[in-house]
Structure 1
């Protein structure tokens, strides 16, 4: 057997005549139509178009009379057609575009999720440098849309009045270092539990009763002028029955009694003569 240029082992003249006669008697020594006689190497076949038939089985090759017992080389299989290759290429491009689009859509969704501040539960909007009145008005307009926030930080924002804002779910609010001058300027906080209004300009306890119905447990009014008023702690605790801590100090025994000053009424008598 001698190997041809196509990788097919063919019969050679070097074999004995008896072997050749045996093959001829069995009817298996059929030569392919494309095989021609070569004077130097015996039987040699023309090379098969391997790029086209590399994915096909040997018995599917056209114009070939070789049988299985004559073929000892690896199987030759026909490759995909040009149309199938084009379809595969289109499919791969579609898959790549779909993956790319999916990544882009995922990033867009993440960005939208980050920008969806209206549904935030925890939000920090401190140090916004609101120097202009127009900025403060728009900032208050934004705060009105925070209907789901539970923890809100508004430190050092030069805020003056938040009475038009309602935070129905806010449990923790930090208004440290702002320009509030009265407790009436606080936002409506029906569910607040911790409230910090330190370093503002609150000078009286007027408006504290608005927090009476809320479950407020901790209140911080340090560095406000109101902390220097008489019976400050007792008045705060008497107005807020659920309060446990004031200015970082828990409820003390002396804070439970609220001493009020009673001034005697001066009765004036008028004598008619």
Structure 2
């Protein structure tokens, strides 16, 4: 390997010359019209210096999808795929279709927020107060203790697993709730569970709460919630319909 007077090796000098020539070709090449594609005889420059050749989508990089009338570029050939502009409301009206956003359910996942300071909790509650249209909400592992001041009028599914709730009274107001998950909290008694009696609650999860070890736990829950169909992932069983057992205590006398 020889060394030139400039201090560069011959191989490095050849690489630089090849790279500069390739860049000049790319700079002088006019942009490909939007209506032309790879399958119509367009020859793109190649570079022998090891640089990747330009993608077929490079000629469209500054155009929106709505400005491209015809192309043969696939999604896996794009460096930064854009979101295609959806049909207008007028077009949907003539198709007699509803807007896709109206069909989609309002879902939100705000789990694992690591709310360590009081001001973070207060700001988090302000956000929850604005969720008047949410239908599915996940608040898992947020160290929450009291959301009784929050009202979620359209919420049908709420997951507050792994928090610090001690009572059903500390849950938000959820009049339309159907599926409620409270696993791994600190709910000691079933006091306040009757507040969900007039809701369409069908599924309830109370696993890993102290109240799970209460005597006649399943019978008490189902008697308080007549619309409930499933508790802790288990459907309502025949023994869950039976009333609590009545125990009779007899006095015993000892004859000496």
* CA distance in 2: counterparts of 1:199 and 1:124, whole angstroms: 18
Q: Does 1:204 align with 2:192?
A: no
Task: Specify the SS of the correspondent of 1:195.
Answer: strand
Of residues 107, 125, 131, the one that matches 1:146 is 131
Match runs of 1:241-256 below 5 Å: 241-256=226-241
Name structure 1 gaps, 5 residues minimum: 1-98, 108-119, 265-273
Task: Describe the superposition over 1:46-101 as per-residue Cα deviations: whole angstroms up to 9, x where unpaired.
Answer: xxxxxxxxxxxxxxxxxxxxxxxxxxxxxxxxxxxxxxxxxxxxxxxxxxxxx89x
Aligned to 1:190: 175
The yes-or-no answer on 1:171 pairing with 2:156 is: yes
**Per-residue deviation at 1:258?**
3.0
Q: Deviation digits for residues 96-139 of structure 1, max 9, x if unmatched? A: xxx89x99xx99xxxxxxxxxxxx81000000000112211111
Counterpart in the other structure of 1:161: 146
- Structure 1 residue aligned with 2:106, among 121, 132, 136? 121
Structure 2 residues not aligned, in runs of 5+: 1-62, 68-81, 84-104, 250-256
- Aligned partners of 1:260, 1:146: CA distance in 2, in Å? 44
Q: Distance in 2 between matches of 1:154 and 1:261?
A: 40
* Offset, 1:141: 1.6
Would you say the 8 A contact 1:231–1:258 is kept in 2? no
Q: Compute the displacement of 1:261 (Å).
A: 5.6
CA distance in 1, matches of 2:154, 2:248: 43
For the residues of structure 1 that align with 2:120 and 2:248, how far apart are their CA atoms?
Answer: 48
Q: Deviations over 1:138-168 (max 9, x none)?
A: 1112111100000000000000001001100
1:173 partner SS: strand
Measured after TM superposition, the shift of residue 260 of structure 1 is: 5.9
Say what the alpha-carbon RMSD is for the aligned residues.
2.9
Q: In the aligned structure 2, how far is the partner of 1:261 from the partner of 1:146? A: 46
1:219 match: secondary structure: strand
Normalised TM-score (structure 2)? 0.56
Task: Tell me, in whole angstroms, the C-alpha distance in 2 between the residues paired with 1:248 and 1:183.
Answer: 19
Larger radius of gyration: 1
- 2:33 maps to none
Distance (Å, rounded) in 2 between the aligned partners of 1:181 and 1:209: 16
Which residue is equivalent to 1:226? 211
Q: Extract structure 1 runs of 4+ deviating beyond 2 A.
A: 260-264
Per-residue deviation, 1:190: 0.5
- SS of corresponding position for 2:163: coil
Establish whether residue 180 from structure 1 lines up as the match of residue 165 from structure 2.
Answer: yes
Cα pair distance change 1:184/1:260, threshold 3 Å: farther
TM-score normalized with structure 1 length: 0.52
> Aligned with 2:108: secondary structure?
strand
**Number of equivalences:** 155
2:131 corresponds to 1:136:
no
Provide closer, same or farther for how the CA distance between residues 126 and 231 of structure 1 changes in structure 2, counting only shifts above 3 A: same
